[in-house]
Structure 1
């Protein structure tokens, strides 16, 4: 299956033919972290963007969804589109009730715009604190946004580097919304899973009832995509961290592909292999059901959960 032709203009070297996973996702699986890029001719990228991807639109996303056996998606606004949520909203609307969205908004956003986004399927906003992706994240502005979305029952998705958590934790704890952390707070997987840095993150999650995405092993791994002993798990050094979060916070963990893997330079992952990472961090059927189906349904489709 070709999601994009490698001869397409602007081709970014992600895997065009994702493998068929050995692990069969349970019925109703939700990919809670994916994006759409453009297409740029219809949805231009933001002038202030830090990277320029190739097109990766809703048609390619839905093709991957069906290939992997995913039932629903949560489309997270990509930083390359700034606060113009048009591409994300277009994808969510096109999926019907099979998708929800996470937006980026500015502090002057009006209630009418938020309600329009809610009607389209948006259920959260993303606050990005990763310095290589955003110039600044002023806390007063973000606090204003959080106060505006709280009446809608939305949550805030937090993207930060683990080393910055001590500085950011008091602000995060002050927000009046549920919190969802991207990619386990980007731990340094060369350090011990029971060391002070990751333990601090786990205490933060516990103290604030935070939801955690056990996503993006390809971003966190040092060993990379080499399988171990023939097993279809390409990122073995990330496994202890993901498994620890799943064991301690099984009712608040989420999973996603991060397709189309923005701003990666070392390698582009095989999405089929990312699916096969799941049983390594969630070994039991009960853990898998919570991670892939029950938890995301409770957060994004509570009326059906």
Structure 2
């Protein structure tokens, strides 16, 4: 059973870090990541920029060079980032831009429509959203109009209005990540609902090193996903869906 880790962070103090609400994470280097996931059959993954990295990509370029083939980057860029810089980042292995609506540190909601369309046209990138399901009623019309999106951490909380599954039905991807930080009442049922609505819509991510999460990632989280989605969906959720999302 091979695994693509579609969501983890590299925190290297050699590169700029920006306090977010007074918080700075401890180091979690490429070497630390490799050691932590050594028991798992990780064949690739996506390094995701956090709020504490803001618009710095120097750490990301270095991490992708160390990790090698099969790994891609998800970065945060300003709304006025040039097309040339987007293409340069693409050559380094960046495949998506992240909008951190939950903690900040990224471009703002005002930039979403224009930036999402531009990165998709220039480099084929999609957009990833760290958001709370409580805001999906307001965000749904904006997100539904974008070329391709993914949503982190099962959207963090219960989606009482049904917007998440509507977005899934229209092509949005959801990350089964961060079980120790979410307040979703029944994550297993939500994962089943997602793969029922769209078998290509759920991807696994470890969320390592689980910064600020009350309960960090555990290897048993993978078993939980396998049990929730069933044998027919395991290969897709653990690897194939993410490889398609990141165009590998």
- Per the TM superposition, whether the score is higher than 0.5 is yes
| Cα distance in structure 1, aligned partners of 2:105 and 2:18 | 14
Residue 168 of structure 1 and its aligned partner are, at CA, apart by 1.0
Aligned partner of 1:247 in structure 2 is: 196
8 A contact 2:47–2:73 mirrored in 1: yes
**Alpha-carbon distance change, 142 to 64 in structure 1, aligned in 2, over 3 angstroms:** same
Residue 209 of structure 1 and its aligned partner are, at CA, apart by 1.3
Residue 137 of structure 1 and its aligned partner are, at CA, apart by 5.9
Aligned partner of 2:171 in structure 1 is: 209
The counterpart of 1:99, out of the listed 58, 63, 71, is 71
Residue 49 of structure 1 and its aligned partner are, at CA, apart by 5.8
* Larger Rg belongs to: 1
| Cα distance in structure 2, aligned partners of 1:267 and 1:275 | 15
**Alpha-carbon distance change, 200 to 142 in structure 1, aligned in 2, over 3 angstroms:** closer
| Cα distance in structure 1, aligned partners of 2:57 and 2:203 | 23
Aligned partner of 2:96 in structure 1 is: 124
8 A contact 1:49–1:82 mirrored in 2: no
Q: Report SS of the residue matched to 1:145.
A: helix
Aligned partner of 1:300 in structure 2 is: 246
Please tell me whether residue 291 in structure 1 is matched to residue 240 in structure 2.
no
Deviations 1:2-45 (A, max 9, x none): xxxxxxxxxxxxxxxxxxxxxxxx13x2000101112x1x1121
Normalised by the length of structure 2, the TM-score is 0.91
8 A contact 2:177–2:204 mirrored in 1: yes
Residue 65 of structure 1 and its aligned partner are, at CA, apart by 3.1
**Alpha-carbon distance change, 280 to 47 in structure 1, aligned in 2, over 3 angstroms:** same
The counterpart of 1:184, out of the listed 127, 151, 154, is 154
8 A contact 2:18–2:24 mirrored in 1: no
Please tell me whether residue 268 in structure 1 is matched to residue 230 in structure 2.
no
Aligned partner of 1:30 in structure 2 is: 4
Q: Report SS of the residue matched to 1:156.
A: strand
| Cα distance in structure 2, aligned partners of 1:197 and 1:102 | 29
Residue 140 of structure 1 and its aligned partner are, at CA, apart by 3.1
**Alpha-carbon distance change, 36 to 108 in structure 1, aligned in 2, over 3 angstroms:** same
Aligned partner of 1:56 in structure 2 is: 28
| Cα distance in structure 2, aligned partners of 1:136 and 1:37 | 17
| Cα distance in structure 2, aligned partners of 1:198 and 1:219 | 21
8 A contact 1:183–1:216 mirrored in 2: yes
**Alpha-carbon distance change, 47 to 187 in structure 1, aligned in 2, over 3 angstroms:** closer
Q: Report SS of the residue matched to 2:200.
A: helix
5+ long unaligned stretches in structure 1: 1-25, 189-195, 224-236
8 A contact 1:129–1:159 mirrored in 2: yes
Structure 1 vs Structure 2 CA RMSD: 2.1
Q: Report SS of the residue matched to 2:194.
A: helix
Residue 67 of structure 1 and its aligned partner are, at CA, apart by 2.2
| Cα distance in structure 1, aligned partners of 2:105 and 2:99 | 12
Please tell me whether residue 174 in structure 1 is matched to residue 140 in structure 2.
no
| Cα distance in structure 1, aligned partners of 2:198 and 2:23 | 34
Residue 164 of structure 1 and its aligned partner are, at CA, apart by 0.4
| Cα distance in structure 2, aligned partners of 1:98 and 1:147 | 25
| Cα distance in structure 1, aligned partners of 2:183 and 2:112 | 30
Q: Report SS of the residue matched to 1:220.
A: coil
Aligned partner of 2:162 in structure 1 is: 199
8 A contact 1:246–1:281 mirrored in 2: no
5+ long unaligned stretches in structure 2: none
The counterpart of 1:147, out of the listed 113, 117, 121, is 117
